[in-house]
Amino acid sequence: MHVVHLYDGHEQVYEGRGSVPGVVWHLARETAAAGHDVTVMERQWDGLDAFATSEGVDFERLDLRTGADEPWTRVPYEQVTSPIGVGQLVTDRANFALQALRRLRGRSFDVLHVHLPFAASVVLTIAPGLRDRTVYTAHLGELRLDALTDDQRGGDDGSGESGLDTPAILSAASPDIYLAKRAAHTTVLNGTIADAFAERGVDSETVSVLPNGVNLDRFTNVSSNEIERVRSAYDFGTKPTLLFLGTVMPRKGVVDLVQAAGSLVDGDGEAPFDLIVAGEDDLDGEYTAEVRETAREVGIEDAVSFPGFVPAEDLPALYAAADLFVMPSREEGFGMTVVEAMATGTPVVGTSVGAIPDIVDEGIHGYVVDPGLPDELVAAIDRALATICGSDSVMTATRERAEDYSWESVGEQCQAVYDEVRE
């Protein structure tokens, strides 16, 4: 079997950063490890070879002369907020589609696996003959799901405002639905999204849930030396440590977390914890400033650190060193960092978005609360610190739960989808 992955995103797939290209890479690698031919087509990034092979996966990179050749330079969810940005996005993705089609025509392959709806929609419109062998993985979360359902999820506080704005272009026409109606099979990250697709007319027989995975070898059995190195590098103290890891932006609910943490300060103004807000913090400068200002307002400025982007080599030990991982998101498609934290044995407090309620069993691996409600979040954090943090049985249970999301298991599920499409 020969599988071609088409990825027109703003991040590079191999040794890049970002959850979606990581999914593309792991699925490609697992399929290649099973003995199949795998090709990944992505844009030409500055400094990378146009043709390369890594761990059995062939890479073909398209020299577009549009868009950007530096990862994370033009981010789609920023572009769609302005007419000029939308025009740039459409032009670039159409160009990607046309160049990809030139490579695909005349080539023998069994499955075309697409991961973003923009260029792929152009491909299947121009070349309908590819539809019966195309698999679409919809990496969308609650925000784009809102555009499908005319609903505003994610922490409505009674004012009718969720704190998240669905771009108007997504509300007017869903590229995800357009593509899912034309692909042979669509995989989504959770059952809620599958139901939304069915409600919008996508044949439910062509939609299945395929979770993201975690590299268990990387996140389990982290050495004590590595943990101590990271504790020193990130200035861990003697207090329990709460960890948030993700891009600092409104959909991640970081302000909610800081507000909740402020409620734990004792009568003497002392915080009984340290809080690390780690991850990319320069994509939305205004929101990052709001997070820092909120920390000052609630009196925990000295208890919070903002290390910024975390190098890949530090991630496993950072998760393992934390006493509690907190994911306060108002929007998630899956929640990969939750599984990564659990793979190290660290319990989780998360919100009921994406697949997080399916991953975290209440009182066993942590606690799940409604998004956008700091009072509920603080109660769950307080309860977790008092009851499950530091428990050997909880550590064992979280690790065992993470095994359900190994890339080996997810890869096998994905290959079963390929087999179904080929029948």
- What is the per-residue pLDDT across 381-397, written as a single tens digit (0 to 9) for each? 999 999 999 999 999 99
Share of the chain above pLDDT 70, in %: 91
The CATH 3.40.50.2000 domain(s) of the chain lie at 2-213+406-422, 216-405
Q: What pLDDT, on the 0 to 100 scale, is given for residue 173? A: 65
Share of the chain above pLDDT 90, in %: 73
- Band of pLDDT at residue 278, cut at 50, 70 and 90: very high
Q: Which of 150-159, 163-172, 405-414 has the lowest mean pLDDT?
A: 150-159
Q: Could you tell me which CATH number the domain at 2-213+406-422 has?
A: 3.40.50.2000
What is the rounded CA–CA span in Å between residue 337 and residue 348? 10
What is the rounded CA–CA span in Å between residue 134 and residue 124? 9
Q: What pLDDT, on the 0 to 100 scale, is given for residue 166? A: 45
- Whether residue 150 is predicted with pLDDT greater than 50 in this model: the reply is no
Share the mean pLDDT of the chain: 89
Query: What is the CATH topology of the domain spanning 216-405?
Result: Rossmann fold (3.40.50)
- Whether residue 153 is predicted with pLDDT greater than 60 in this model: the reply is no
What is the rounded CA–CA span in Å between residue 153 and residue 330? 8
Q: Which of 43-47, 150-154, 408-412 has the lowest mean pLDDT?
A: 150-154
Region 220-232: what's the mean pLDDT? Answer: 96
Region 72-84: what's the mean pLDDT? Answer: 75
